[in-house]
Structure 1
Amino acid sequence: MISNLELIRRTYEGSSAENGGNLLAVVSPDVEWTEAEGFPYAGTYVGVETLMKGVFQRLATEWTGYRANVHSYLADGDRVAAFGVYSGTYNATGKAMTAPFAHLYELRDGRIIRMRQYVDTVLVARALS
């Protein structure tokens, strides 16, 4: 059986298509996914369809070159944290950004049941205006 750390690592370390497929394979149908207050997609999304429409489809269409590059992981049982840097160019303004982030995942039986995002929203907001 694959470790929780490896499940999460696989959602970041391939191409965007691979990462998306790997995420969909391990996200719970009733996942609770929380984007940080101050982030453009702030709020809690419940369920895969809501998450895909509210976050991932918007990232894919509103940004060019959007990436979440992870430099460190920490695992503690059913929790895995990923630390890294977002980068990309916001299409509406043409402004690029880089911003540090942390994602805290909670897993059960090999599925992501919760994710909470922590990010320097000021750095992201500068690209939006």
Structure 2
Amino acid sequence: MSIEENVQIVKDFFAAMGSYNEQALLALVAEDIEWIIPGNGWPLAGTHRGHAELAVVLQKAFEKVEMSYPTPPELVAQGDRVFVIGVATGKIKATNRSFRDDWIFDITVRDGKVAKIREYIDTQALAEASKTAADPSH
């Protein structure tokens, strides 16, 4: 696949995520997708593999987090990798606490499908927004 085709696949993936179109998302990712979300104290953190785990983490994200993107992300591509650089603002629904997250997604495209995602996010901002008043570490 060309770099331009890989970039388009990633753009389509982000569009499907933005509208939470699960069917379109699953059509764009490899069966053995691996999505690594770093952090502790953040409900989405962990390594998620395969379509079933991807569906669970995306459902959890849409249930637990309100998020918006004040500016369109920047995409930088080389070979089979596309880096998506952006900013998200939002709140954790359970705590009603706001966050600002500067992030980078390192995405590998294989055979026309998103095969691996490694997020680099502001885990501290997200963990802080996830803490409740009853949290002893707060």
Q: TM-score, normalised by structure 2?
A: 0.80
CA contact under 8 A between 1:11 and 1:20: conserved in structure 2?
no
Q: Could you tell me which residue of structure 2 aligns to residue 49 of structure 1?
A: 52
* Aligned residues: CA RMSD: 2.2
Report matched runs for 1:87-126 at 5 Å.
87-126=89-128
| Structure ID, larger Rg | 2
CA distance in 2 between counterparts of 1:15 and 1:41 reads 15
Q: Percent identity?
A: 29
Task: Give 5+ residue unaligned stretches, structure 2.
Answer: 132-138
Residue 68 of structure 2 is aligned to residue 67 of structure 1: yes
Cα distance change of structure 1 residues 51 and 33 upon mapping to structure 2, 3 Å threshold: same
In structure 1, C-alpha distance between the alignment counterparts of 2:14 and 2:72, rounded to whole Å? 7
SS at match of 2:106: strand
Q: How many residues align?
A: 127
Residues 12 and 19 of structure 1 are in contact (CA less than 8 Å); yes or no, is this contact kept in structure 2?
Answer: no
| Greater fraction strand | 1
Cα offset, 1:121, TM superposition: 0.8
Give per-residue Cα distances to partners, 1:2-29, cap 9 Å, x unaligned: 6101110122247832665543221001
Q: 2:80·2:109 contact (CA, 8 Å) conserved in 1?
A: yes
Unaligned runs of 5+ in 1: none
Separation of aligned partners in 2, 1:40 and 1:115: 17
TM-score, normalised to structure 1's length? 0.85
